[in-house]
Amino acid sequence: MIKKITRDELIKMASSGQRMKIIDVLSKESYAKEHIKGAISLPLETIDKDTTKQWDKKETIVVYCASFDCPASTKAAEKLQLLGFKNVLDYKGGLKDYKEGSLPLEGGQEEEVVSGSSCGCD
């Protein structure tokens, strides 16, 4: 079963200095436009044993996608669990929810995330 976390829980974890990876599972193009500060890009379709082989299986991993309507983060969390990761959390609200909290983003442009196939939801 995938554990879900809220924006407030993510902020609390990040501000506490807890060691974790925040993974943006959207497309590389979406990531380049905007992403949660400190997140790394790993599009859903690229998650496999090779892309994660050097990661600590016990480290906390938080995955996110575009919004509550996008299933990509849940699919990513399931893939990571199948690869043996023990502490995977799904930030279901994703980029949209994070932006609604007026929280800091990184990236080149202040545009809305493009929905559809570019988010990896298909």
pLDDT value, residue 27: 96
List per-residue pLDDT tens for the chain, 122 residues long.
Answer: 899 999 999 999 999 988 999 999 999 999 999 999 999 999 999 999 999 999 999 999 999 999 999 999 999 999 999 999 999 999 999 999 999 999 989 997 544 433 333 455 65
Q: What is the CATH number of the domain that holds 115?
A: 3.40.250.10
Give residue 57's domain range.
Answer: 3-119
Task: State the total domains in the chain.
Answer: 1
Three-state SS across the chain?
CCEEECHHHHHHHHHCCCCEEEEECCCHHHHHHCEECCCEECCHHHCCCCCCCCCCCCCEEEEECCCCCCCHHHHHHHHHHHCCCCEEEEECCHHHHHHHCCCCEECCCCCCCCCHHHHCCC
pLDDT for position 115: 36
